[in-house]
Structure 1
């Protein structure tokens, strides 16, 4: 009996293996099976990363029109309560514009890099967000090291020992931040003021000219905004202070509360772990395991430009927001039971705020301010041989 040459047999085995692997990569991952490589997971959503300049410009024009219309309505509304309500609406629209700018900053909004950069700066103006500093803190640090202590500073929890070592005033501030009522204050102080608006050398050791120019740009935008309200007050015979509060202060405060809330719920959950060891963190597939898909009612996803489909965004930042819903659905189909999906309710939110105060990085569980566990310890991720040796 003649046998096929060894080289042909090897080739057949290799091709068969590749074919089988390819087929398995297109099937949902079974419970208990190893998590696929990130490249495999990204391959599921890459077909959804096509960007459209027309869609991006249309969304930008609509939201800027809403922003301008709501500001005009604040000026012309005859009743104080109406002005206050419209100020909240304006703050929400600022959030929508920011979400569009966030996509542009990720180069996920249009196919053109320069257009993304300039659109991003423009879309960030109403929220007074310096574009280049947001890009460093968010794109590089947060996405590069999600939920890794010492790197990702966004809502990074403290251990019991770290909390007890804080001065009394800072302990009180931390309690306010994590009370459920403090997301806006947290974002305003610890993220925007310290790290984005002319940050100190301690907060941002790298000094770039564009950091200063972007800080000057948003300062000029704020000055023009306030100046416009002063002109409107004089032209219509209204109180400048009333228009300043309802047309500038309330929108910005609501916006900061909105973004503080969003970044909190994206990565704070009793089923989401934080890590202080880079090897363990890498083994946990953090782009999937450290994000939460928070679900709302029927229309809220679209109103928030689908920013809550957050797992898909962390798996592949190039997927535009107008395709995130499809990408999230694909991931949840392919990784059943692996993604944290949480139906939003205020009861859940405040229960999370009550339980997620400090973190035990050894047991991978949340604790109260006395170090008592308030969540079930999460299992340590399985490390490959190469990771363990490293």
Structure 2
């Protein structure tokens, strides 16, 4: 095993000294799989579609209520609620991308395109890059989502890039930019079939998704000409921004641990199991059910084929095998306010990893922004 060396960040308290999160796990992926009840792997198209119907009804009802009241006292409430439901749409489309929505690839593709195009996400472009993320989770060199920058890359960034990547609230608005140009140090667009994100045989799928995305953009442009930019901003634009903030907030917190430093791997030190164990479960309080239990993230990362409605049960079954490698999420009240503090603290200290070493931890730029 590689030496931590200068990449090791001292734990916060004596309790953490007792456990090294980068230690090679004493169990196999097959042992975790065996602990999960067989019915947790079963996908029900009708059950999955019922969640889509539920969310569509809620989104439609919120829109109807907002248009009926048309009151500035209600619009902020609508924005938060509707943006939250847009995020719920994304999670169901995310299940389609993993194939955990249904055993039918055709149904997954149709529902995924409808849900994701509505919130301006190119379904196949995102699906393929997200698959890359899951196949390489925890790998500094090959991961795709919130992957840490090397020290050399970080120190060569201009001030503006550092500011917008680490200064709250700007990182919570990063997703549209990521779709267009990915993260610093990476090239390619989720909209271009010729991006290095995609293999030649995947290009036709990217074209289809970009076309669906373009149709939604055209529809929004038409609505803008009919109802005006201010009204479109109220009913769609602001909820879309709330959705983006939810997406960046959740995905960041699932791959950064302020409470306990998490390892990242290179070379021979990385494998699928070790990488998956660097993810974190989070308790989002009242939003757990609304967001289709996306907070149960560890088992999802190890076994993305499991439908979201079985993740909680699968996690309970796997915990005895995982032991201390499973980090129990801090229990939340109705609203997960504590996670906001975790995000801010992590953004202030998780800046880059060393250029050297096969087991590395986030380090902090002493020149705080």
* TM-score in terms of structure 1 length: 0.77
Task: Give the SS at the match of 1:250.
Answer: helix
2:191 match: 198
Matches within 5 A, 1:334-373: 334-343=321-330, 345=338, 346-360=340-354, 362=357, 364-370=360-366
In the TM superposition, residue 213 of structure 1 has moved relative to its aligned partner by 2.2
Task: Give the SS at the match of 1:122.
Answer: helix
In the TM superposition, residue 314 of structure 1 has moved relative to its aligned partner by 1.0
Q: Quick check: 1:179 aligned with 2:167?
A: yes
Contact 1:108/1:317 (<8 A) preserved? yes
Matches within 5 A, 1:154-303: 154-166=145-157, 168=158, 171-191=159-179, 194=182, 197-199=190-192, 201=194, 203-204=196-197, 206=199, 208-228=203-223, 230-231=225-226, 233=227, 240-269=228-257, 270-275=260-265, 277-282=266-271, 285-287=274-276, 289-297=277-285, 299-303=286-290
Task: Give the SS at the match of 1:342.
Answer: coil
C-alpha distance in structure 2 between counterparts of 1:329 and 1:241, whole Å: 48
More off after superposition, 198-207 vs 87-96: 198-207
Contact 1:332/1:339 (<8 A) preserved? yes
2:316 match: 329
C-alpha distance in structure 2 between counterparts of 1:304 and 1:320, whole Å: 13
Matching residue within 28, 31, 43 for 1:37? 28
C-alpha distance in structure 1 between counterparts of 2:237 and 2:181, whole Å: 16
In the TM superposition, residue 189 of structure 1 has moved relative to its aligned partner by 0.8
2:136 match: 145
2:115 match: 123
2:41 match: 49
Q: Quick check: 1:98 aligned with 2:98?
A: no
Deviation per residue, 1:315-346 (Å, 9 max, x gap): 21111001111111122232221113332613
Pair 34,92 (structure 1): closer, same or farther in 2 beyond 3 Å:
closer
Contact 1:293/1:308 (<8 A) preserved? yes
Contact 1:44/1:330 (<8 A) preserved? yes
2:296 match: 309
Root mean square deviation, CA, Å: 2.6
Residue ranges of structure 2 left out of the alignment (5+ in a row): 1-20, 183-187, 331-335
In the TM superposition, residue 175 of structure 1 has moved relative to its aligned partner by 3.1
Contact 2:126/2:190 (<8 A) preserved? no
C-alpha distance in structure 2 between counterparts of 1:89 and 1:192, whole Å: 27
Residue ranges of structure 1 left out of the alignment (5+ in a row): 1-30, 234-239, 373-390
Pair 33,164 (structure 1): closer, same or farther in 2 beyond 3 Å:
closer
The count of residues paired between Structure 1 and Structure 2 equals: 328
Contact 1:313/1:319 (<8 A) preserved? yes
1:13 match: none
In the TM superposition, residue 79 of structure 1 has moved relative to its aligned partner by 1.5
In the TM superposition, residue 220 of structure 1 has moved relative to its aligned partner by 0.9
Contact 1:132/1:211 (<8 A) preserved? yes
1:15 match: none
* TM-score in terms of structure 2 length: 0.81
C-alpha distance in structure 2 between counterparts of 1:183 and 1:74, whole Å: 29
